[in-house]
Amino acid sequence: MILTRYGRDSDTVVSGILHDVIEDCVGEGYTRQMLEQRIGDKFGAKVLDTVLAVTYRKLDDDGVELSGEDRKADYLERLAGASEEARWVCAADKVHNSASIISDLQRTLDPETIWGRFGGGRAGTGRWYRQVYERLRELGFDAPIMAELDKASGELQKLAG
């Protein structure tokens, strides 16, 4: 929905819809290779490339398992080579996630139940969303969605303390 508000093309919107499929569905009867094949066959190479650019990797290029922090660092690093479409999907994902966390925090009596859902806890979660915003800016991504990401990630960081 966020991507459609900004008038993005159908491949970018489809990539946004599918952006978590590989991360979330491996191990539920599907291998990463099966999911990549299905996405590529059904939606084409451009959509697959965009999805892969914003998918956290569990293994590095040498097959070594990445820790949670290493996955985030790898994600930020790979944004440098990501397409404009992938950066849009990244920004929209982080806008959505930030807004969802903020909304949950506003509805709860115990904020720690919300922050506890994230491995980085309160401080790490607030910092992560801001790091993504800062990385996109550093890479020269100045699309209109960046104002929304700035506001959402800034508010989330403020709530995280």
How many angstroms separate the CA atoms of 126 and 136, rounded?
Answer: 16
**Which residue range is the domain that position 113 belongs to?**
2-160
Tally of domains in the chain = 1
Q: What is the pLDDT of residue 87?
A: 98
Reported pTM: 0.94
The CATH number given to whatever domain includes residue 130 is: 1.10.3210
Helix residue ranges per DSSP H, the chain:
2-5, 10-18, 21-25, 32-43, 45-53, 68-78, 84-107, 111-115, 121-138, 145-160
At 15-70, the pLDDT tens digits run 999 999 998 888 878 899 999 999 999 999 999 999 999 999 988 899 999 999 99
Q: What is the pLDDT of residue 69?
A: 93
